[in-house]
Structures are given as C-alpha cells and as structure tokens.
Amino acid sequence: MNSIKVSILVPAFNVEEYIDDCLQSLMHQTLKEIEVIVVDDGSTDKTGKIAEKYAALDKRFHVVHQSHQGVATARNVCLSLAKGKYIGFVDSDDYISENGIEELFLCAETHLADIVLGSILHCFEDGTCQRIGDKSFNQRLYSEPISGKHLFKVLIEVGEYTPMVCGNLYKLAFIRQSQLCFEAIFHEDEFFTPYVLYFANRVICANHDFYYYRQRANSIMNIGTNLRERSGSLYFISAKLTEFAKSNIASEEIKQAFLLHASSLCSRAQHLYEKELYRSSKRCLFIITEHSIANQYGIGTYIRQLTQCFNLVEWDLNVIVLHSVNKRIQWKMEEGVAYYEIPMPDELLYSGLPLYEQLYCKGVFYYLVSRLQLPKEVYCHFNFTSHYYLALLFKEKMHAKIIFTLHFTDWSFDLLGDQDWLKRILANPAGRKEKRLVDAFEREKKFMHECCDSVIAIARHSYDMLKELYDIPESKLAYVPNGLRDEYRKRNADECRRVREKYGFKEKENLLIFAGRLDFVKGVMELIEAFKQVLIEMPDTKLIIAGTGNFTHCLDVAKPCWSHIIFTGFIPREELFELYAIADMGIVPSIHEEFGYVAAEMMMNELPVIVNNTTGLKEIVGDGEYGTVFDFGKDKNIRALKDRIVDVLTCNEKEVYAREGRSRVLKEYSIQDFSEKIVGLYSLYGKSMQN
C-alpha cells in the first residue's frame, strides 16, 4: 500500500537566497506522509547544494540534477518521479504554512476530488500581501465538488480565473490518466490549467490562505528581456486552446468560455509583442499584402519565404494583410513574425471611391506607426501596386525605404501578357476598356516611380519589361527570382503504390495533375477540354485538379467525364506533394504567368512538366530544355496541348525530364540564392540609411 499521501514537486533554478525558506516550510508540514522532489534545473549558484543538504537530513526529500531546460521540463521530471496519491507544486522561491498540505489533503479525501483549488497570497518585497484566487463569490463552489469545465466557465464569467498550479492539489492518477504534462514554453501554467480543469470531474475550492507567492523584481516573469518569447508562448497557447475548444467541446456555453479565454490570451500576446516593438532598437519591416486568392497561393508562398530571409535578432518583422474579411483587426504570431489582418470599415468597404481607400490607408498607417517609438528605421515591402497611398505615407512621413516585388500587372490578364498589344493601346486607346487598361498601367507606373526605392523583378522577362515599358532605371531594378525550399522526398515504388491506394488510384493509371486557382488565366478550362480528347486515345488516364475557384464552370466543362477528373479543392502541401509523387506529369497551361511557381515546384519534386509557351513558364523550363512546351496560340489551340500530353505519356524520356528539371530548379531557383539576394538588397539600404 502506498504510504505517501502527497508528492510535493519543486523545480529550482538559481534561488539560493530563497530555497531555504521554501524547503524549511515543507520539512515542517503537519502532514508527515509526504515526499518532496526537487529538480535542480542546472543552477549555477548554491541551489543544488542547499537542496542536497535537506535530502541528507530528511529521507522524504529527493534531489534530481539536470542541465538547464526550463520550468516546464523540470515539472515534467517531477511528475514522472512522483509516487504520492496526490501532487502539489511549490515554486522554489515561495513557501507555505505548516498545515497547508494537510488541509488540502483532507479536503481532497473528504470530497473524493480530482483537484483541490486553493488561494494564494502575493507577498511583495515591502512586506505587504494581497490575496489572489478568492472564490467566496459563491459559497457553493467551495463547499461541494463540481466539474472542472463548469467551474472554468464560472470563474471566467466572474473574473476569478487564476491560471496557477501552485497552491492546488491534484490526484496523480487523474493527471496520468488524462496524459497531462507541461509544455516547454513560457507561461506553462497558462497552458496546463485549462486542460486540467476540462478533464476533471470533481473539483473543490478550499478557500483558505496557506501559499505565500513571493513577488521578485528579478523573477523570470518580471524582467523585461523576454517579452517577445512570452508573447510567442501566449499566442501558441491561445491557438492551441482555440483549436481544442472548437474540436472537442460540445457544450456551447463552455466552448464560448474557453474561446473567450483564448481570445484574451491572444490580446495579452499582442500587448507584450507591441510593448517590445515600441522599445526595440531593431530595424522594422512591414511586409504589405492583402486578402485575396493570390495571397492564398503564389504571393502567400512568396511572403512566407520572404519572412525567412531576415535574422530576427536584427529585425522586427510584421506582415500586414489589408482588406481582411474579418470584422475586427486580427493578430497572430508565427515563428517570431507578427501578422496583422486589418479589415476595411463597413462604411468605407462598399463605396468604391478612391477617397475612402485613402482614408483606409491613413487609418492603417497611423495604427501601425503608433506602435513604434520614433525615430525608427522602417522598411516596407509591398506586393501590390494598388497600395499607393499607404506607400506614399510611409515614404513621406517616416522616410521609410520602399521595396516592391512585381508579381503581376493588371493589363496582363486582359492582354495575356502581350506587350506589343499594350503598346498599340497606349499609343491610341479606343473605347472604355482600353482607356481603363491605360489608366491601370499609368497607376502601376506612378506607384513604382513615385514610391519605390527598389523594384524587384521575379523573372528576367519582367526585368526587361520594367526597364523598357515602365521606364524604371536599372539603378532601381533588382532581379531576384523566386526561390523554392527543397522539400522533395524521393519515394520508392512500394511507397508510391501505397499512396495511390490511399487516394483510390489504380497502379497502372496515368495520372496528370494541375495545381492552382481555377481561374481563366490559369488555362484550366482549356486543360479539361484537352484532357477529354486525351481520354479518346488513352482512356486509362485521370486528371487531378488541386485548387479552389470556379468549380461550377469547371464541372460544366468536364461533363460527361466526371469520373476521370478529380477536384480536390485547396489541400495542404503534404498532400499535394504526395500527389506529385504518384503523378506521371504536371501540367501548367496558364495563359499568362509572371514567374510560374507551380511549375518550378513540380520540377523540384522530380515531376515532368508541360507548360504553355508564355513568358514566365517558358523561362522556367529553359525554352523546352527542362520540360515540354506547347503553344495555345491566339486561338487557344486545344489540340496542341492534347498532343503534347499524349507524346509525354508515351515517350521514354519522362525520367530524364524529371531529373534535369529538378537539377535546374536547385541551381537557378534555390531558396538560399533568393535569401542571399534579398538580404543583400536590404543591406544596401541599411548602409545608405546609416550614412
């Protein structure tokens, strides 16, 4: 029979000044059937030696020494070693009254509780104390057990929720059965407490003071050097709790309590981040994008890769998503980068007037700048020419350096990238549509000339076009092709067979894949028409279309061959790469493409590609040297695409194209080269600003 009633778990790190008080208070507990487990978390002072002294005096004390890994890991080690029926946590700079553990234990036994919640006294350096965790707002809550999830809801509603594990008692069997542990981050109590309450069936509140929580100016939560890390931890906890609540909690009232708490954690995370941002001496970069389908695909990928180019020790990175569909500003943090999604107020949203767009940009500008302590070295990286007013504000009022990446031009969609056609229209516009194209061209040119310090071309043909058509001086131009992170994993024949079985494809079926938006400029309708002709000659063939967009039109074009065409919708990269692994070829039939990221991604995954003879795509495959090129022509010759598909499926050179295509991407479009060129460009501006 287990004679240990309570295991007291004490993580300790560099607290030689306080740990004596802590361990003395534990040694003199009126409940004698206890064990005290101290984990010395790599202390560099005498903390470990003091703990060993108590272990030598009292066999109930056990000391474990480990390299410094943080409070969460130390607590998890304590949990793994605990042998008591119940466990309690005590921080090594705190202390408890001599009857505290016994009162909690008796309360737990009397009420058969999974958890006993106590209250604590915050003890300040001037000798004053303040009670925290008072549950006396409702006598019933601490006179009889209730479920933890219901208690959580009530505590949130009345503002008495205290996310601290110290001062409480937990049944060890319940903790282990629920597989609960601490996450190795800051604010580990914030992570642990909602889940432990959710899984507990019987919780009792013991409303008496026994735990003395020492408030130290130099404690890890009070020093100001870790605000960014704490912000990241709080956002991580918020995101995980939101996901958990939406996926697991059936009761709408309880779910809303958890979501409300998650939202408050996110707000705290934003506050800590902006507090650090305000006092930061780092260079500040705002990467400006907007809510759009393009942001979900190619431009979104570009921005994710752009954020990975910068050393966060030297930079504060913020991604600003304009025209968000949310009702209010949303904030999040991913991998140390802050994201702001900023909606347009309803009264401005539907007006369509340029004046209202200016008002919106002005509001965005002052919202962002108010988070900076001026003067500040600010950079803005724009991705849409439509953000002229915001760029101008940053340039004129903040003297910010403005960098712009040209991902597309408005006129290209209407004229399919035909520059000669555009030149004729610019020389003599006829009709409303052509005048609209001229206006769009002039707006793009104005943005680049008046706002931008540097314009990045992602393809050589784009570089030439910017120089010749937009009159951008070469001193302002930079050629930085998109880069791809090498995420390719070669699969053997057995793995590919299993993946085919997973998605319901036969081993001998020919598989073609298209990835991207279901948009007229992507050529997906023409691809479906060509595929229907392929089926006449090669009926054992299927076409996978991975992406979102105009499904209705695509399905209409696909009939009656629906059983041969699979629409996946938008899918995660892991699943997309699995489909690349089992496909026989990738097809990128875009009518116009500035770069052709999807084609490069397919080639990186050692997938033979067929591309339309348009500028960006033709450049990717080296004019047909590293992939197959077909030409729609001005009349959109479907047969040309169909013939190339049949040729590639029946030829013996697919593996050669696959290997050489991958080699080209690794050589010409590596993420390392992309990163070096971006960093080099920004370094030039850093030097000029310092001078």
Cβ–Cβ under 8 Å, residues 35 and 78: no
| pLDDT of the residue at 139 | 47
pLDDT the model gives residue 691:
39
Q: Is residue 684 part of a domain?
A: no
Mean pLDDT, to the nearest integer, of 526-539? 96
Binding-site residues for ATP: 642
Of 436, 453, 479, the one marking the end of a domain is 479
SS (H, E, C) 537-595: HCCCEEEEEECCECHHHHHHHHCCCHHHEEECCCCCHHHHHHHHHHCCEEEECCCCCCC
Per the structure, the count of domains in the chain is 4
Q: What gap in Å lies between CA 186 and CA 189, rounded to an integer?
A: 9
Structure-token pair, residue 189: 């109590």
C-beta separation of 185 from 191 below 8 A: yes
pLDDT at 690 over 50: no
pLDDT of 277 = 96
Which residues is 88 bridged to in the sheet? 8, 169
Q: In which band, very low, low, confident or very high, does the pLDDT at 219 lie, cut at 50, 70 and 90?
A: low
Residue 349 has pLDDT above 60, yes or no: yes
- CATH code of the domain in which 133 resides: 3.90.550.10
Lowest mean pLDDT among 113-127, 183-197, 598-612: 113-127
Beta strands in 72-128 (DSSP E): 86-89, 95-96, 115-123
Instruction: Pick the range with the lowest mean pLDDT from 58-72, 222-236, 366-380, 440-454.
Output: 222-236
Q: What is the pLDDT of residue 297?
A: 57
Residues 6+ apart with CB under 8 A from 60: 34, 35, 36
The answer to whether position 486 is within a domain reads: no
User: Model confidence over 470-494: pLDDT tens digits?
Assistant: 999 999 999 999 999 999 999 999 9
* Residue ranges at the known binding site: 642
In a shared domain, residues 254 and 309: no
Residue entry with tokens 């009792």? 204
pLDDT band at 352 (very low <50, low <70, confident <90, very high): low
pLDDT digits over 253-294, tens only?
Answer: 999 999 999 999 999 999 999 999 999 999 999 999 998 765
**pLDDT score recorded for residue 223:** 54
- Residues contacting 135, CB < 8 A, separation 6+: 117, 119, 141, 142, 155, 160, 205, 207
Residue 690 counted as domain residue: no
Q: Which of 539, 568, 545 is nearest to 646 (CA)?
A: 539
- Dihedral sign, CA of 396, 398, 404, 408? negative
Residue 351: pLDDT over 90: no
Please tell me the predicted confidence (pLDDT) of residue 57: 96
Q: For residue 59, tell me if it sits in a domain.
A: yes
Determine the average pLDDT of the residues in 645-651. Answer: 92
Instruction: List C-alpha distances in Å: 5 to 33, 85, 86, 103, 137.
Output: 5, 5, 6, 12, 31
pLDDT higher than threshold 60 for residue 509 = yes
Please check whether residues 359 and 392 belong to one and the same domain.
Answer: yes
Looking at the fold, whether 199 and 343 belong to one and the same domain comes out as: no
| Same domain as 203, residue 230 | no
Q: Specify the higher pLDDT residue, 395 or 122.
A: 395
E strand residue ranges, 568-662 = 585-588, 609-612, 628-630
Element (DSSP H or E) covering residue 342:
strand 337-343
Asked if the structure places residue 676 within a domain, the reply is no
| Shared domain check, 209 and 193 | yes
The yes-or-no verdict on residue 421 having pLDDT over 60 is yes
CA neighbours within 13 Å on the CB side: how many for 473? 6
- The pLDDT value given to residue 689: 44
- The answer on 164 and 78 residing in a single domain is yes
More confident residue, 384 or 119: 384
pLDDT value at residue 135: 54
109 and 236 part of one domain? no
Distance between CA atoms of 344 and 463, rounded to whole angstroms?
33
- Between 64-68, 217-221, 395-399, 573-577, the lowest mean confidence (pLDDT) is in 217-221
Tell me: do 208 and 190 sit in the same domain.
Answer: yes
| Final residue of a structural domain among 279, 298, 325 | 279
Please check whether residue 650 lies inside any domain of the structure: yes
Share of the chain above pLDDT 70, in %: 94
- 584: tokens are 């026989």
Q: How far apart are CA 433 and CA 119, in angstroms?
A: 72
**Domain with 45 in it:** 6-223
Residue 316 in domain: yes
Name the pTM for this structure.
Answer: 0.87
User: How much of the chain, in percent, has pLDDT values that exceed 90?
Assistant: 80
- Prior bond of 194 cis (ω within 30°): no
| 352 and 315 inside one domain | yes
Name the pLDDT band for 295 (thresholds 50, 70, 90).
Answer: low
The enclosing domain of 387 has a CATH number of 3.40.50.2000
Same domain? For 467 and 520 the reply is no
Q: Are residues 567 and 616 in the same domain?
A: yes
pLDDT tens digits, 548-585: 988 999 999 999 999 999 999 999 999 999 999 999 99
Q: What is the pLDDT of residue 354?
A: 78
244 with 212, same domain: the answer is no
The DSSP output letter for 521 is G
Give residue 577's pLDDT: 97
Domain annotation covers residue 595: yes
